[in-house]
Structure 1
Amino acid sequence: MAVDKVTATDATLELMDSLKKRHGELMFHQSGGCCDGSAPMCFAADEFKVGESDILLGEIGGAPFYISKDQYEYWKHTQLIIDVVDGRGGMFSLEGPEGKRFLTRSRVFTENEREELKKEASIV
């Protein structure tokens, strides 16, 4: 059983479908910056350069989801759940004009999930 480190709500997947129609393929980066706090940022796939300090956490709706190594260290014990709420989106994120914003929720992995993640890490 593979454990997803990042998942998305149905509302997130619906908004992503709408954004894909206008912008093409998408990608996400879990921001840790000063401008938008720690919001998940959504970009057209070719508009954000992933650096050496970023890791691929997983995919949501077919879009890769990255997080900085430093920030991952804080959240590695949790599953990130990307949701959508009403409000102003991140100034650089594609959902900004929609009156919606992506929001990261999280839950702590269960003991069984942590054991499975350890097994998966040892395979790599």
Structure 2
Amino acid sequence: MALNEPPEGLGPQGMTLWQEIGEVFELRVDELRILGDACREVDLIERMHVALLDAPLLVKGSMGQEVANPLVQELRQHRALVARLLSALKLPDDEEQEDTDGRARSSQARKAALARWGRTG
């Protein structure tokens, strides 16, 4: 089976994530979309992180008071979004077995096997 092609325009961080997941697991079309969104988010996080390196952590608020740089909150929100997106993929844990061709089993195959044996995943 051919490897899943990454979406166009991914940066280095997004491409690394795609290779670590998209080229290892057999994902459905909807899961590929989720992974693509996660990869773009990872690239955006990297850009914000780089921007924050040279920016002050405290900036003036609307009333002249010092407040946290808005990028700090944005980074936190985008990191949480990546965690939710990756969680939605329901990838198997590292210690789960591989199938005969060395590729990790998909979460759907794992669920089917557990259902077949009367267990829940």
**Which structure's residues are more often strand, by fraction?**
1
Q: Of Structure 1 and Structure 2, which has the larger fraction of its residues in helix?
A: 2
Same fold (TM over 0.5): no
TM-score by length of 2: 0.24
Structure 1 or 2, whichever has the larger Rg, is 2
User: What TM-score results when the alignment is normalised by the length of structure 1?
Assistant: 0.24
